[in-house]
Amino acid sequence: MSKTPRAPLDLNRLRQDIVFEDELMGHHFVFHTTWGLFSPKGIDEGTRLLLRHMTVRPDEQAIDLGCGYGPIGMAIARSAPQGHCLMVDKDFVAVDYANANLRRNAIDNAEAMLSDGLRHVPADQRFTLAATNLPAKTSKEHYYLFFHDIHDRLEPGGRCYVVVISGLRRFIERAFGEVFGNHTKVKQGRQYTVAMAEKR
């Protein structure tokens, strides 16, 4: 029995940007993404849960760590018109798309830059808000480095919000307690948990 021949891939179509629209924190956005970036066809549930339960003040000096093509940082920037959001990622393709999405959506109080966590962010830059959708597939040592670096850069009273798969929520509670001295479980969903710690 002969197999039906598979239709050839349309490589030109695959190389085109993936384009979609969404509403985050009450603001409308148009996103361009590409294959190889995280959740390229739409906003993932973890990011959506984080943005539904994160408090953003109008004058935040914020950082979005691991920004991808930009949804968290863009939503923060729109919600903090008197503030600014620095978006960082260690993937240059993500940074290119994030900056293009900022221009596309006429957001001028945010920028994306290439950095491994906070390593390449100017040492004197301080923040009132840090937010990240933490990757599940990394080491706990990496998380600790990340949290200590964030803690060092936050102003007193600054908050760090993370969203993780719910299986890591106990670890986050312990790590936040050790690094920040406090932990708040903001929202536990079926798959993801949003947690917050404050620099005191």
Q: How far is CA 90 from CA 69, 83, 114, 134, 157, in A?
A: 12, 24, 5, 14, 27
Name every residue whose Cβ is closer than 8 Å to that of residue 176 and which is 6 or more positions away in sequence: 147, 160, 182, 183, 195, 197
The predicted structure's pLDDT at residue 2:
58
> pLDDT-derived band of residue 14, with 50, 70 and 90 as boundaries?
confident
The predicted structure's pLDDT at residue 197:
98
Residue in the block written with tokens 């085109």:
16
Tell me: the pLDDT tens digits for 82-102? 999 999 999 999 999 999 999
Tell me: the pLDDT tens digits for 153-191? 999 999 999 999 999 999 999 999 999 999 999 999 889
> What's the CA gap between 200 and 195, in Å, rounded?
16
Higher pLDDT, 9 or 163: 163
The predicted structure's pLDDT at residue 12:
79
> pLDDT-derived band of residue 139, with 50, 70 and 90 as boundaries?
confident
- Give me the mean pLDDT over the 128-154 stretch: 92
Structural domains in the chain, sorted by start: 44-198 (3.40.50.150)
> pLDDT-derived band of residue 7, with 50, 70 and 90 as boundaries?
low
- Give me the mean pLDDT over the 118-133 stretch: 96
Which SS3 state, helix, strand or coil, does residue 34 take?
A: coil
**How far, in whole angstroms, is CA 165 from its chain's centroid?**
14
The predicted structure's pLDDT at residue 5:
67
Mutual angle of helices 45-53 and 71-79, in 10-degree steps: 20
- Give me the mean pLDDT over the 66-79 stretch: 98
